Structures are given as structure tokens and as C-alpha cells.
Amino acid sequence: MERNEVTACEALLRWRHPERGLVAPAEFIPLTEEIGLIGPIGAWALKQAYTKAAGWPDSISVAVNLSPVQFKSGTLVLDVIAALGASGLPAHRLELEITETLLIDDYEGTLATLHRLRDHGISIALDDFGTGYSSLTYLRQFPFDRIKIDQTFVAEMTTRTDCAAIVMAVAGLGRSLGVDITAEGIELSDQLMMLRAAGCTDGQGYLICRPKPANCIAEILSAPVTITSIAS
């Protein structure tokens, strides 16, 4: 964050509905999980993300969210490794994001799967930290590479001292554990300034860059870096 350098892009699906236009993942992903389509959709999304990222500079990673349902298939690790091999993307340039829900639903099984993924050189991020049943036990039991501070805290940190204190505490925890800290949902320059002061290592949000189609990312990465051109 201090250097204004692009380090990664997060892959997020959008449903191009014929009547409603682009539908955000928060609206349709729960439906795909409910009707059993998240498996094939998730596998397709992983392959697309890997293939696109393989054409980016070697210094740029790609982050992909995993659904709790994908863990229940029992083939997640094999699917991820196979897709990586087919795309040519090195494992160290992939970061998989999970939420605390996964750890709550099947703590031991999830940890075992995460360790297998990490053994292959894949980074693991704990997403939306602070919004669920946040437990420091998770950070003790599994060596996460990244903690992502939920945007609800970032949005109010300039007006609420408690939100600012939580962000600073998580950033300090990350420094002590040697874990990267990403602040989500940065929309104001004042937020960015406070996050830098708190010691957050990375940030994403509309202030940095609004969501872009995958085909536009390579062009963005080749342009001079400014605070409005960093890929989120």
C-alpha cells in the first residue's frame, strides 16, 4: 500500500442477466449453492482465473473465493492442482480466500484441506475477518498468509473510533504474526491515509479501481501506476 504497487487482482463473478444487467455475486452465489450449481460454476471460475492470470506479469497474483460447498466435494485439492497445471500458472501466484463459515461448519476437515493446498505452495487468505465468529484460535491453528479486514469497518473508520481501533488492532496483529493485512472497500482518500498509518500492507476498493472485465486487466497492469489505476 505504501508503494502504490499492484500485487494481485481478485476474481469475482458477475451474472449478465438479460433484464437486470450485471448481478453481483452476493445476490446469485447463495442461489447456486442452494440448487447445487456452485460446483461446476466454481470449477469453471477457477480455470478462467488461472488462465487469465497466467498471461499477467510474474509479480501479479490472482485471488479466488471458495464456497463452503466446494469443500464438501472431496476433490477440491485435486481440482485446483489440475487446473493450475493446465493453465501454467505457478502455485505461488494463486491465493484462495475462505470465510470463517468454513471453519465453523467443518473445522478439522477444512483445516486438513487448507494444509494440503498450502503444501502445494498456494496462499490462503481469511476473508471478511471480524464479521463472523472471529476466533484467534483460527490464526493459531492455521498459518494464514493474509487476513482481509471487512469493508464494514473500513467504511466507518473515519467517523467511528471503535471501527478505527479494530482496524488498527487487526493490522497490529498481522505485523506480530507476520501476516499480510488487506483492507477491503476503500472508497475515500481519508480512509486510505488512515489505513496506511495503521500499517495495513494492502488495500482494495473503488478508490483504487472499480471492477473491470478480465480482458481489461492486462492493459491496466501495463499502464503507469496511480491510485486510480491499481487493479482491485
Residues contacting residue 129 through CB under 8 Å, at least 6 positions apart: 100, 147, 148, 149, 150, 170
Residue 67, CA distances (Å) to 73, 96, 98, 99, 134 in order? 11, 10, 7, 9, 18
Q: What is the CATH number of domain 8-222?
A: 3.20.20.450
Would the pLDDT of 132 be above 70? Answer: no
Q: Lowest-confidence range among 8-17, 132-141, 162-171, 195-204?
A: 132-141
Does the predicted model carry a pTM greater than 0.85? yes
* pLDDT interval class at 8 (50, 70, 90): very high
pLDDT of residue 134: 59
Domain ranges of the chain: 8-222
pLDDT > 80? residue 56: yes
Nearest Cα residue to 96 out of 76, 112, 82: 76
Is residue 161 predicted with pLDDT exceeding 90?
A: yes
- Using 50, 70 and 90 to split pLDDT, how confident is the model at 228? very low
Find the helix packing angle between 189-198 and 161-177, rounded to 10°: 40
Which of 88, 55, 91 is closest to 218 using CA atoms? 55
Q: Which pLDDT value is given to residue 88?
A: 92
6/1 Cα distance (integer angstroms)? 9
pLDDT higher than threshold 90 for residue 225: no
Q: What dihedral angle (degrees, nearest 10) is formed by the CA atoms of 176, 149, 50, 218?
A: -100
23, 15 in Cβ contact below 8 A?
A: yes
Q: What are the residues facing 17 on neighbouring strands? A: 21
HSE value, Cβ hemisphere, 13 Å, CA-based, for 225? 11
More confident residue, 176 or 132: 176
Report which of residues 26 and 53 the model is more confident about: 53
Q: How far apart are CA 200 and CA 177, in angstroms?
A: 13
pLDDT > 70? residue 230: no
Q: Is the pLDDT of residue 104 over 80?
A: no
219 vs 54, which has greater pLDDT? 54
In this structure, the strands spanning 146-149 and 94-98 are unpaired
State the Cα–Cα distance between residues 133 and 127, nearest whole angstrom. 12
Report which secondary-structure segment, H or E, holds 38.
helix 38-54
